[in-house]
Structures are given as structure tokens and as C-alpha cells.
Amino acid sequence: MRKEEIISKLPYSKPFLFVDEIVQIDENGVEGNYTFDENHDFYKGHFKECPVTPGVILTEVMAQIGLVCLGIFLLNDTLNKTASIALTSTEIDFLKPVFPNEKVIVISEKIYFRFGKLKCKVKMINEKGEMVCTGTIAGMILTPTLSKGDGAKTGLK
């Protein structure tokens, strides 16, 4: 699967797509990057005089590149249009702030992928090579179990 194909299969669109490029991907991990546009709405209020990227957004970037992109690659053609990868847990240490217009690199290493669960060790570094945040992220493959007429609940299969 081509890197551009993986990005096109992500279940996100702007302004919530936080993947610019996948640099490298294989069955053991992924490396990708994203540059934070100074015009993102969250910068308007976090913090007024000195905008900083919220930790929840940094976590989302790490999850999109380090978990979802890798999950799409690992599942390849077995991921159908109704399945999705849902975040189930994170443990992230934040070490440095990320400012508007900064480019970050996410490097993810697969810890395991079994029984529909993917767990990865992830780190984010800035262009200076400084560690921004690091930790673990896990997610599950979800498929709809009920039709929309039945309340459209989602569960594991």
C-alpha cells in the first residue's frame, strides 16, 4: 500500500487531519510528520498572549500517525469501509511546548497487534531533534454490530 493511499483512507479531514506525510512505514512501525498551521482555531484561546498547541492535539497527532496510519497499513485490504480504529488508551509525557508553524515528527514502534488491538510506543520530536512528548497509545478495530435502524451502536466483533 502506498503512503498516499494510507493518508487518503484516514477517517479525518481538515481541519482535523493532522498528517502531512508518511516518511516510512512497515509492519513494525511508522514515521510521519505534521506542521501546525498558525491559523488553527485552538491557537486563538490557548494561550491568548503566547499560543501553544494543546496536549490533547499533540496526542491526536501521535494517534493519527502512530496508531491509525499504522493500523491501516497492517490491515491493508482487510479494513473495510465500515470498520474504524478507535483510540482506547494513552499514556503520554509532555516535555516541550509546540508553537504555531512548528513541524513535528512522530515515530511509532509497534508493541503488539493481536485480537484486534494495536499498541504502540510513540514519540514526537521537533525539527531541532528535541523530544516533545513520548508514551504509549493503543486502539481497537471497531465494526458496526447493529444496523442504523437499530440505533447504530458500535461494538467489537
The catalytic residue positions are 46
- Of the candidates 90, 86, 71, the one whose C-alpha atom is nearest the C-alpha of residue 139 is 86
